[in-house]
């Protein structure tokens, strides 16, 4: 008996030492099914976090200061929104409510316009948009913007491209003309400075003025700067409808001549007459990839797009920028000419107003800044015209003039078959194409496209679980490791020891979008926990108020 007591006594300090050696983590997600983002099958494991990094993945990991029960949940990398518009919105409301309820932990923004370069002209160009949010551009470069963002606080990480339209406003102005050699040198230098500060590349919106005034050659020259700095070229192409295939050819040419990898924003075939072109669009991209070109695309999971109502205007009306456009629309003779042109039909019998959407009945007004016209949010343009006793063209012009061209609209223009075909491609990732929204405060006043609240859960719910387009693991890969690889974020997008602890836990059987075109401001369901840089921003389905997000710089 004395020997037994001695053995017990001797074992006590050994056990205590073993307990002392057990790692103590900051946070432990216990009991979940880990879907690591690579596309590999999920597996049962706990996930431990120390500081802002993943410390361990496995079973029986030991103690932690804080524990989340993830039993029955999918534990995945935080989703990366490869196409957002939150650069100014995050300065108005850093909570990022509509994003974190989708499981988004990082966003890349700057599709058309961007926070740099900065000049009086670019400030004036973005001023009407950000003024209602009480946001002021008080930075001079990308470092200054990122410092402002992190000082104010953000729930998600944010990176940016340099938008071609902002670059042109800064370097050329709003005129429809080629850049001069001196202007090109200045734009190249500004782009290089932004790349050195961490921009991800150049993004062109080639249906929008003044970016659309840039010829292919000019874009190639700018994309070469991006390639020299290891970034990539992203593009909202010149056409997503009648000239879709030609637009894809241009994007591929720019990548081939510049040496920059290419990302095609929101790949689609817009307009009923173009439905079915997706197969050929994919074939052209596959052919380029087969030749060794690095070409990918993003998609949002809806058959309607969203952009400015001013996109219904003819090119000749929008030449010279916003002030010139408003001047023309306020001139009675010019206004009559615009109304007459938009009230006509094409040779094929389609409306010249909203051709891709099938005419005014396919255009839904989503966001109006002028309070006198807010009652039209959520209404179709033909119904607005009937209420006002006007032609749809006249109603559109009145809205645009009253709103200083800032009216947003939704265009019902795509087919489900084309969308599903695009989503299935292994090189297609997910981009929501929407800035953050909230249910209260300055970002709660509009009626957005439902993608603002539903994109990522919709992929998991409708397209993976219900339609079976791909397994859950592939859906997660499209939203995590694939965009991380495209963007150049080596420490995000995969659950692996040593990487940043951006994590989402969700109910694989319940996660789904709830936002609709009629009621778009509905939070998604099934996202239970969201962790950004090791800090929970959503816990048990409730925001924590924490703002641990950071600036994302290319390569970091």
Task: Identify the CATH number of the domain defined by range 163-264+267-301.
Answer: 3.20.20.140
H or E segment to which residue 202 belongs: strand 201-205
Confidence grade of residue 188 (pLDDT, cut at 50, 70, 90): very high
Tell me which of 9 and 392 has the higher pLDDT: 392
User: At residue 20, does pLDDT exceed 60?
Assistant: no
User: Taking a C-beta distance cutoff of 8 angstroms, is the pair 202, 233 a contact?
Assistant: yes
> What number of other Cβ atoms are within 10 A of residue 270's Cβ?
25
User: At residue 3, does pLDDT exceed 50?
Assistant: no
Give the whole-angstrom CA distance, residue 428 versus residue 281: 13
Confidence grade of residue 22 (pLDDT, cut at 50, 70, 90): confident
> What number of other Cβ atoms are within 10 A of residue 41's Cβ?
12
Task: Quote the pLDDT of residue 11.
Answer: 40
Tell me which of 321 and 476 has the higher pLDDT: 476
pTM: 0.92
Give the whole-angstrom CA distance, residue 144 versus residue 151: 10
Give the whole-angstrom CA distance, residue 272 versus residue 303: 11
Contacts of 32 (CB under 8 A, 6+ apart): 44, 45, 46, 47, 70, 71, 72, 73, 74, 75, 505
Tell me which of 16 and 523 has the higher pLDDT: 523
Q: What average pLDDT does this structure show over 403-420?
A: 93
Of the given ranges (13-27, 116-130, 272-286, 376-390), which has the lowest mean pLDDT? 13-27
Confidence grade of residue 8 (pLDDT, cut at 50, 70, 90): very low
Task: Quote the pLDDT of residue 14.
Answer: 37
Give the whole-angstrom CA distance, residue 298 versus residue 97: 23
- pLDDT tens digits for 209-247? 999 999 999 999 999 999 999 999 999 999 999 999 999
Task: Quote the pLDDT of residue 344.
Answer: 86
User: At residue 74, does pLDDT exceed 90?
Assistant: yes
Q: What average pLDDT does this structure show over 193-206?
A: 98
Task: Quote the pLDDT of residue 21.
Answer: 52
Confidence grade of residue 346 (pLDDT, cut at 50, 70, 90): confident
User: Taking a C-beta distance cutoff of 8 angstroms, is the pair 15, 55 a contact?
Assistant: no
Task: Quote the pLDDT of residue 464.
Answer: 98
Confidence grade of residue 269 (pLDDT, cut at 50, 70, 90): very high
Q: What is the dihedral of CA 124, 313, 236, 125, to 10 degrees?
A: 0
Task: Quote the pLDDT of residue 165.
Answer: 97
User: At residue 333, does pLDDT exceed 80?
Assistant: yes
Contacts of 141 (CB under 8 A, 6+ apart): 116, 117, 118, 193, 194, 197
Of 198, 199, 418, nearest in space to 301 by CA: 418
User: Taking a C-beta distance cutoff of 8 angstroms, is the pair 23, 62 a contact?
Assistant: yes
Of 308, 300, 301, 546, nearest in space to 446 by CA: 308
Task: Quote the pLDDT of residue 556.
Answer: 77
Mean of pLDDT over the chain: 93
Domain range summary for the chain, segments of one domain joined by +: 163-264+267-301, 309-411
Task: Quote the pLDDT of residue 522.
Answer: 98
User: At residue 10, does pLDDT exceed 50?
Assistant: no
Confidence grade of residue 318 (pLDDT, cut at 50, 70, 90): confident
> What number of other Cβ atoms are within 10 A of residue 424's Cβ?
13
Residue ranges of alpha helices (H) inside 331-466 are 332-342, 381-388, 392-402, 416-424, 451-458
Confidence grade of residue 533 (pLDDT, cut at 50, 70, 90): very high
User: Taking a C-beta distance cutoff of 8 angstroms, is the pair 91, 160 a contact?
Assistant: no
Q: What average pLDDT does this structure show over 136-162?
A: 98
């Amino acid at each position: 008996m004395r020997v037994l007591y001695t053995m017990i006594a001797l074992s006590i300090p050994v056990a205590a030492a073993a307990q002392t050696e057990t790692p103590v983590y900051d946070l432990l997600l216990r009991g979940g099914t880990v879907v690591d983002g690579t596309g590999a099958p999920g597996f049962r494991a706990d996930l431990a976090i120390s500081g802002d990094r993943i410390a361990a993945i496995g079973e029986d990991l030991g103690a932690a200061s804080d524990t989340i029960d993830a039993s029955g949940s999918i534990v995945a990398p935080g989703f990366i929104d490869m196409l957002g518009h939150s650069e100014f919105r995050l300065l108005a409301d850093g909570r990022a409510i509509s994003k974190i309820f989708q499981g988004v932990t990082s966003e890349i923004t700057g599709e058309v316009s961007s926070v740099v370069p900065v000049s009086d002209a670019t400030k004036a160009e973005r001023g009407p948009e950000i003024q209602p949010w009480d946001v002021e551009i008080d930075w001079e470069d990308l470092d200054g913007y990122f410092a402002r963002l992190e000082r104010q606080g953000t729930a998600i990480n944010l990176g940016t491209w340099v938008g071609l339209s902002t670059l042109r406003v800064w370097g050329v102005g709003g005129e429809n003309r080629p850049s001069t050699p001196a202007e090109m040198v200045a734009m190249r230098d500004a782009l290089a400075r932004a790349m050195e500060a961490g921009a991800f590349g150049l993004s062109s919106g080639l249906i929008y003025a003044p970016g659309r005034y840039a010829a292919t050659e000019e874009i190639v020259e700018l994309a070469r700067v991006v390639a020299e700095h290891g970034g990539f070229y992203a593009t909202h192409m010149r056409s997503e409808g009648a000239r879709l295939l030609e637009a894809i050819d241009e994007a591929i040419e720019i990548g081939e001549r510049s040496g920059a990898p290419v990302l095609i924003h929101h790949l689609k075939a817009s307009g009923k007459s173009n439905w079915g072109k997706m197969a050929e669009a994919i074939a052209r991209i596959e052919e380029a990839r087969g030749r060794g070109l690095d070409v990918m695309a993003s998609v949002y999971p809806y058959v309607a797009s969203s952009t400015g109502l001013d996109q219904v205007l003819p090119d000749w009306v929008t030449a010279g920028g916003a002030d010139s456009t408003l001047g023309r629309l306020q001139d009675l003779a010019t206004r009559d000419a615009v109304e007459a042109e938009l009230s006509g039909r094409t040779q094929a019998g389609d409306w010249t107003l909203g051709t891709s959407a099938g005419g005014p009945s396919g255009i839904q007004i989503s966001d109006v800044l002028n309070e006198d016209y807010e009652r039209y949010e959520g209404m179709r343009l033909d119904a607005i015209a009937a209420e006002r006793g006007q032609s749809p063209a006249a109603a559109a012009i009145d809205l645009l003039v009253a709103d200083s061209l800032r009216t947003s609209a939704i265009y019902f223009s795509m087919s489900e078959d084309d969308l599903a075909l695009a989503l299935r491609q292994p090189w297609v990732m997910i981009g929501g194409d929407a800035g953050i929204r909230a249910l209260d405060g300055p970002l709660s006043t509009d009626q957005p496209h439902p993608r603002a609240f539903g994109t990522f859960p919709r992929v998991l719910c409708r397209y993976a679980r219900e339609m079976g387009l791909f397994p859950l693991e592939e859906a997660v890969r499209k939203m995590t490791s694939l965009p991380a690889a495209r963007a150049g974020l080596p420490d995000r997008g995969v659950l692996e020891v040593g990487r940043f602890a951006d994590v989402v836990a969700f109910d694989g059987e319940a996660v789904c979008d709830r936002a609709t075109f009629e009621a778009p401001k509905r939070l998604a369901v099934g996202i239970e926990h969201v962790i950004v840089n090791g800090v929970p921003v959503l816990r048990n389905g409730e925001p924590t108020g924490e703002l641990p997000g950071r600036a994302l710089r290319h390569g970091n």
